[in-house]
């Protein structure tokens, strides 16, 4: 057993989620540009998940992630990707959470109209690269 396998599959799923966010942000109708839509895309299984990956390949920013998924087979990676996404997104599929993720009352345009505090959470391990 490869001791790095678990982190590999988590990174694989994170890469897919990143592509899903980029795809939704760049291609979904404005009312569907939400984390709920991202979660719904990433929760697909089998042929439906492969259809999502195929759509990813049509756009430069998500093409590599789409190709990576399309290169997987049921017994070599696809089931593991699905299982990882399933376990990591289980909480996010709750109907109340989906409803809260289906919209946003935040707009960067508001920043020009009144002072707003924006908090950015940077993981401790990445602090040095972002330090002044």
Q: In the chain, which stretches have pLDDT less than 50?
A: 1-2
What pLDDT score does 1 carry? 41
End-to-end CA distance of the chain: 42
Q: How far apart are CA 81 and CA 10, in angstroms?
A: 8
What pLDDT score does 60 carry? 95
Question: Phi/psi class of residue 10: alpha, beta or left (left: φ > 0; alpha: ψ in -120 to 50)?
Answer: alpha
| Eight-state DSSP code of residue 60 | T
């Amino acid at each position: 057993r490869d001791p790095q396998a678990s982190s590999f599959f988590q990174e694989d799923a994170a890469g897919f989620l990143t592509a899903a966010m980029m795809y939704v942000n760049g291609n979904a109708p404005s009312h569907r540009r939400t984390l709920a839509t991202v979660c719904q895309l990433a929760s697909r299984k089998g042929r439906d998940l492969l259809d999502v990956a195929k759509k990813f390949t049509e756009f430069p920013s998500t093409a590599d992630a789409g190709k990576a998924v399309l290169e997987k087979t049921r017994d070599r990676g696809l089931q593991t990707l699905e299982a990882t996404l399933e376990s990591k997104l289980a909480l996010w599929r709750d109907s109340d959470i989906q409803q809260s993720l289906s919209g946003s009352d935040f707009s960067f345009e508001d920043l020009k109209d009144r002072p707003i505090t924006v908090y950015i959470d940077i993981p401790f391990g990445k602090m040095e690269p972002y330090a002044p």
